[in-house]
A and B are shown apart, each in its own frame.
Chain A
């Protein structure tokens, strides 16, 4: 068994609601893996299970073959899982640079002693945080916003800042929850190019997206969720040609139920 991030029969129930039901997924190093599905399909919940915000009701999540199903959110971050949120969770009242510097938290180790006595560790860490943050901002094309308050930026730029902040922690896998939501066409295309560029440099990406075109253009592998269950997985061509996916996506919810019934393909 391998894969960078792997789930086995993951379920997440809220009372009687099966938000995620028996999902197997395997993201390989170097993938841009897309998760699509109609609203309320359980995509965000699935992300939250993978990043430790929710514990799976059943099933296991593995990262680098290590069982992370019951680990805390912080511990999972430390293993190299970076993520963004569907509703951006920036430090609104801090500058963009400060936001990204906090992204360098895991790459530095200054403790109170180091900070008080300005030890070597402190000086090395401050330099690292400054340089790494500026480099990350430059790569993300956000340099000119370094000293702007995050909360004052446009929605699309905020999303990009959140991605940059996560990248500053050099995650092994970058999980993006609807990164293009709220972006205009231009910003969306730029984001797609940015993600492809990152991926070409070796960054593994797992993303949720609503915009079919975006996913089809961007991802090398796609998983489709509907009513919490996986209904299809494969290359973009395979998925877009799949009848069930089309019903689930373009049909109404009642059609979706039929799909659910014969989902075991």
Chain B
């Protein structure tokens, strides 16, 4: 694994270009529609998981409520395109902004909270959003949902096949990755990571942790909203049941398996989880047991995820154990 990583690190731009060319070309080789739909799911969940990773992996605020932001994006799209006939692209932006605003609002009560308390608030918020979608019948269609969501067009070109959506999801994933890469490798990303690593120290260096956390939340929510918007026009029918806590945990499982705090982790997580979903379809609901087992195994043996650095804070428990073994009681004697 480390050898592969070193190789990839050395030829990063080459590898990225190759991966992108591959992603563009390979679906053209006559896959079945059902297969292309799986590729769409993988890309869609990559951006969803990637955006959750921005909050959970980079600023260390463990949010469990990502499905809520995804839900808002989908409903903004469904409502504005069916009721008001506004065209797809401006609404897509509104889907993102709507989710980002919700992210900002939810982040306020979480500012003073940490760990499990923060997670519970986000979990609750996600459910509140879903229940509003279920019960505000006049606007959301209640349990009937919203159907006949129009297909988006782009200069006379209509997105009407899974393959075309594949390229839409791919485009969004690439833009998401590029923008996130730039943020992470800047003062903004460093301030997020400083909060994850040690909030007390971050403050002592003048990092304004409250606004930094709020922007972090809003940014992650924004992309969940964007994906929600595309999801709505992709399946053309949405109802609140899709955006349950299960969906939130599903997204979460991808970043746990792929690796939090790395940009590549969510891709791997999305491929593994969606791939398993298909492979394990024959065993029905038992596959959820498999996921649970996989997550437990990952947390135990590789808490930093498949792609995570073995020296990240997420692998912290293991490092501490190793260190304690190496230096013996020396540290104790000092402090």
Contact = CB atoms under 8 A, between A and B. Distances in A.
Interface of A: 51, 53, 72-74, 77-78, 82-83, 85, 87, 89-94, 98, 101-106, 108-112, 114-116, 118, 122, 125-126, 129, 149, 151, 155, 165-166, 169, 181-182
Contacts of B312: 93
B179 A116 contact: yes
A74 B188 contact: no
B193 interface: yes
Interface centre among A53, A115, A122, by most chain B C-beta atoms within 10 angstroms, is A115
Interface residues of B, number: 34
A92 B197 contact: yes
Interface centre among B186, B187, B202, B311, by most chain A C-beta atoms within 10 angstroms, is B187
Interface in B182-200: 182-183, 186-191, 193-194, 197-198, 200
Counting from the closest, the 9 A-B pairs by CB-CB distance are A115-B186, A77-B206, A106-B206, A91-B197, A89-B201, A110-B187, A73-B203, A182-B334, A93-B313
Contact of A94 (B197, B200, B203, B335): B197
A55 B323 CA distance: 37
A181 B179 CA distance: 43
A115 B188 contact: yes
A182 B335 contact: yes
A82 B194 contact: no
Contact of B201 (A91, A112, A149, A151): A91
Interface centre among B205, B312, B313, B319, by most chain A C-beta atoms within 10 angstroms, is B205
Given A105-B205, A182-B335, 7 more contacts: A74-B209, A77-B206, A85-B201, A93-B316, A94-B193, A109-B187, A116-B182
Contacts of B311: 93, 149
B169 interface: no
Interface string B139-164: 00000000000000000000000000
B313 A112 contact: no
A165 B187 contact: no
B219 interface: yes
B331 interface: yes
A149 B323 CA distance: 13
12 contacts: A77-B206, A78-B206, A90-B201, A91-B194, A92-B316, A93-B313, A93-B319, A104-B187, A105-B194, A108-B187, A115-B186, A116-B183
Contacts of A125: 186-187
B121 interface: no
B176 to A, nearest CB: 12
B326 to A, nearest CB: 10
Contacts of B179: 116
A111 B188 contact: yes
A105 B187 contact: yes
A220 B299 CA distance: 53
A114 B311 CA distance: 30
A72 to B, nearest CB: 8
Contacts of A51: 204
B186 A110 contact: yes
A115 B197 CA distance: 21
Given A115-B187, A125-B187, A151 B204 contact: no
A166 B188 contact: no
Nearest to A113: B188
B205 A103 contact: yes
A125 B190 CA distance: 13
B114 interface: no
Contact of B182 (A91, A98, A118): A118
A186 to B, nearest CB: 15
B104 interface: no
B203 A93 contact: no
A240 B155 CA distance: 84
B207 interface: yes
A165 B197 contact: no
A1 B182 CA distance: 48
Contacts of A78: 206
Contacts of B323: 151
Nearest to B312: A93
B251 to A, nearest CB: 23
Nearest to A86: B335
A119 to B, nearest CB: 11
Contacts of A166: 204-205
Contacts of A182: 334-335
A232 B81 CA distance: 75
Contact of A82 (B187, B204, B335): B204
Contacts of B5: none
B182 A151 contact: no
Contacts of A82: 204-205
B190 A115 contact: no
B202 A112 contact: no
B331 A155 contact: yes
Contacts of A74: 203, 206-209
Interface centre among A85, A94, A182, by most chain B C-beta atoms within 10 angstroms, is A94
Contacts of B208: 74
B215 interface: yes
